[in-house]
Structure 1
Amino acid sequence: LTGQAAYHSNVPSLPAGLGASPPQDQYVVALDADQRIWDGGRTAGEKAVEEASRDLDVAAVDVDAYDWRQQVEAVYFGVLAKNAEIDLLKTLVEDLEAQLSVLDARVDAGVALAGDQASLAAEAEGQRQRIVEAEGERRAALAQLSTLSGQVIPDDAVLATPDPQPPADLVAAATAAATGEGVDRPEIEQAKATRQLLQEQMHLVGLATKPTVSAFAQGGIGRPADQDFFETDPTPYVVLGLRVRWKPLDWGVSEREQEIRDLQLGINGSRLDTFFTSLSASLRRLAERIESSRAVLASDDRIVELRRQSSEQAAAQLRAGVITPSAYLLERNAEHRARLTREQHHLSLIRDSVDFVTTLGASS
């Protein structure tokens, strides 16, 4: 809808008797319509570019979500590590309290020194403090996990330990990933969407010199009406027609834009190749760590068993009054460290296995 009001100080004048001159004050209100009939495929090309751009935006969101997932996994395993530490500390405190009860009776009977009792009690209290600290760190990690996941996770929530299933041949999977084989990452879809967008843009640029044919219509009321300049009364009018626009030459603009898109296509392909190479290197590092953790865990089991035997012997000697609490604590703390180390190695193995599966692709 358009409108215009104007006053003309000079208008054509006719000799007397030949009719009225055009009005000096002129008004027009009109409704315009334009319908493209043929544009050489430009409309379809623009639609294809819009769809490709939308697909690229979706792919970018998926990539961001993948990064977010890795953050969640890191915090999740942090909570699991704190759970293991707290459980082992509680077991340690229970053992210390049991030995303290025996020592209390021995002090009351006059066969043990009060200083030995105080030493053991101080150690138990120190471990209780460590439990409080670890529980605080666990609550902080759960709060961070709640923020990342968008869900309220209570402090007493029980988190399941993942059971990842990485490929049987880790090295082979890592090697194959260098060519994209077995990889299912959102970055691949992002690269495909980028390539599709660039190709659609190149196609659209190639249509810039195609002619455009459109039909147009205008209907309104004016004073004067359209081309009837000598009509002094407001009069309805209608205009119908065809319009052709053609720019056969653009002085090389289209060609330069296509060269730019072609260069961007090459860069996009190189980035994907680089991504696969980096991915393969990361998988190789994870494969080595997984194999190392498996070997270390077997050794951890033997160490824990030996430390357990030594600790139990020290506990029996403490009850018999053969050794001091300090000697017992030395053995019991060594067992605690061995068990804690084994749990850390166990979680590290699970974490690396999860990372391997995640790095390779969510559906792997």
Structure 2
Amino acid sequence: MKKIRFILIVMISFSAFSQQRLTLNECYSLVEINYPLVKQHQLLAQQNQLDKEIILNSKLPQIHLDAQATYLSEVIQIPIPNSTIEPLNNDQYRATFSVNQLIYNGGLTDATLKVKSGQLKTKQKQVDATIYQLKTQINQLYFSILLVQENYKLIEAKKNLLEIKLKEVQSGVKNGVLLPSSDSVLEAELLKIKQQFIEVESAKSSLIETLSSLVGQTLLSDIIFEKPLIQTQLQNEINRPELELFQLKKEEIKNYEMLISKQNSPQLNGFATGGYGNPGLNMLDNSFQTFYTLGLKLHWNVFDWNSNKKQQEAVAINKDIIENETEIFKLNTNIELNKQQKEIEKISAFINSDEAIIELRKKVLKTLDAQLKNGVVTASAYITEFTNLFEAENTMLKHQIQIQLAKANYNTIKGE
């Protein structure tokens, strides 16, 4: 399923780039694929697999080969007169081949495997939570680019209007209706607009470069960033990956409690040893001999001075700590949601005021436009009001982008 999802996302991404368009959701998807931290999913899985194989090896026969040569300063002698039993040699040799097989350990191996599986899920979810937090950075970059992109269009519209007005003023100057310097004021304003274009293009290039690094994909400077229409449901129902992480930590603690309960279970092992040495098992035979032993060994830690019980109590405290962390996370998240909700309400009020301000500025500019044609006001007065209108439109544009950013952040904080 993950492979199919990966292919679909890549197809969407390349389709978007071929059309020179990119959406906010595609940025989210690209981060989930290309951000370097994503590689830890596979690395953690490989590490966990190796750990499990090591644990499972405890169920396999354990084989040992030992060899030793020793010299004893004194050996056992038989104090019987005229005995034909030769004393042992001071130099002794022994080589053994041993096999130990675990027969029963009370489910300790299976409990250990379950702990390892729980640890893998927790670590991978921690990676997911860290990557999810990058969405806030993507929101900031994406909407900053949108603001620059829309600002460019606004400057371009301003330039076109000024070029039209410049032709009218130049005609008025030529016919003696306007002062000779009137067109110079407009030309200077057009030069300022060229500087604004350079500033906007530089800002957009820098932002796109930063976003490219974050999503792990080269984004062309002329790519069009789609304006998302973000809807929010103002309710504090949180669905963040951090909450899943806390739940997995709780499950991991349950697994660890089970492991602790198995630690004092009786363990039964079978063993077999074959060897060759001097002396062998018969200490009275002073020659090289082959020998073997077979048997069962039971180990049971009957009394551990309440160590096991104290371990369980320590784990129970960890469970309370995670519960506390969960409550703190929910509290902080709800505070952030309330802040974003207030921000959305504030910007909405600003936009309503912006619309009224722009309408008033347009009326004033329309009056000055007629007066400029008749030579009643100077071009400087016209440019001043024209700039006021541009700034009012730019302010509303900024607020429109800001409210979408606030909504995107609200959804991100909530976990949508």
TM-score in terms of structure 2 length: 0.77
20-29 vs 254-263, greater mean Cα deviation: 20-29
Q: Distance in 2 between matches of 1:117 and 1:16?
A: 136
RMSD between superposed Cα atoms in Å: 2.3
- Tell me what 2:295 maps to: 241
1:206 aligned to 2:261? yes
1:102 aligned to 2:102? no
**Deviations for 1:296-355, whole angstroms, at most 9, x for unmatched residues?**
323322322232233233334323333211111111111111111111111111111111
Match of 1:277 among 331, 344, 347: 331
Unaligned runs of 5+ in 1: 175-181
| Aligned partners of 2:145 and 2:207 also within 8 Å | yes
1:189 aligned to 2:252? no
Q: Distance in 1 between matches of 2:175 and 2:276?
A: 120
| Aligned partners of 1:23 and 1:224 also within 8 Å | no
TM-score in terms of structure 1 length: 0.87
- Tell me what 1:152 maps to: 218
**Deviations for 1:68-109, whole angstroms, at most 9, x for unmatched residues?**
121111111111111122211121122222222222333344
List structure 1 segments (4+ residues) > 6 angstroms apart after TM superposition: none
- Tell me what 2:129 maps to: 63
CA-CA distance at 1:185 after TM superposition: 0.6
Q: Distance in 2 between matches of 1:33 and 1:69?
A: 56
CA-CA distance at 1:20 after TM superposition: 7.5
| Aligned partners of 1:99 and 1:319 also within 8 Å | no
| Aligned partners of 1:88 and 1:340 also within 8 Å | yes
Note closer, same or farther for the CA distance 1:22–1:293 as it changes in structure 2 (3 Å cut).
Answer: same
Match of 1:348 among 402, 408, 414: 402
Q: Distance in 2 between matches of 1:46 and 1:310?
A: 79
Please list, as runs of the form range in 1=range in 2, the aligned pairs for 1:1-364 lying within 5 A after superposition.
1-10=64-73, 11-12=75-76, 17-18=84-85, 21-22=88-89, 24-30=91-97, 32-167=98-233, 170=234, 173-174=235-236, 182-219=237-274, 221-224=275-278, 227-229=281-283, 230=285, 232-233=287-288, 235=290, 237-362=291-416
**Deviations for 1:148-196, whole angstroms, at most 9, x for unmatched residues?**
11111110111111222211xx2xx13xxxxxxx321111111111111
Q: Name the SS for the 1:161 alignment partner.
A: coil
Amino acid at match of 1:66: Y
Q: Name the SS for the 1:184 alignment partner.
A: coil
Q: Distance in 2 between matches of 1:130 and 1:56?
A: 50
Q: Distance in 2 between matches of 1:20 and 1:189?
A: 73
Amino acid at match of 1:146: S
Amino acid at match of 2:382: Y
Q: Name the SS for the 2:302 alignment partner.
A: coil
Q: Distance in 2 between matches of 1:228 and 1:256?
A: 48
Q: Distance in 2 between matches of 1:135 and 1:330?
A: 25
Amino acid at match of 1:188: L
- Tell me what 1:179 maps to: none
Q: Name the SS for the 2:225 alignment partner.
A: coil
CA-CA distance at 1:36 after TM superposition: 2.0
136-145 vs 10-19, greater mean Cα deviation: 10-19
Q: Distance in 1 between matches of 2:166 and 2:342?
A: 45
Q: Report percent identity of matched pairs.
A: 24
Q: Distance in 2 between matches of 1:305 and 1:253?
A: 78
| Aligned partners of 1:223 and 1:231 also within 8 Å | no
Q: Distance in 2 between matches of 1:68 and 1:92?
A: 36
| Aligned partners of 1:22 and 1:232 also within 8 Å | no
Q: Distance in 1 between matches of 2:101 and 2:136?
A: 51
Q: Distance in 1 between matches of 2:229 and 2:304?
A: 62
- Tell me what 1:177 maps to: none
**Deviations for 1:191-211, whole angstroms, at most 9, x for unmatched residues?**
111111122222222233222
| Aligned partners of 1:26 and 1:223 also within 8 Å | yes
Count matched residues: 348
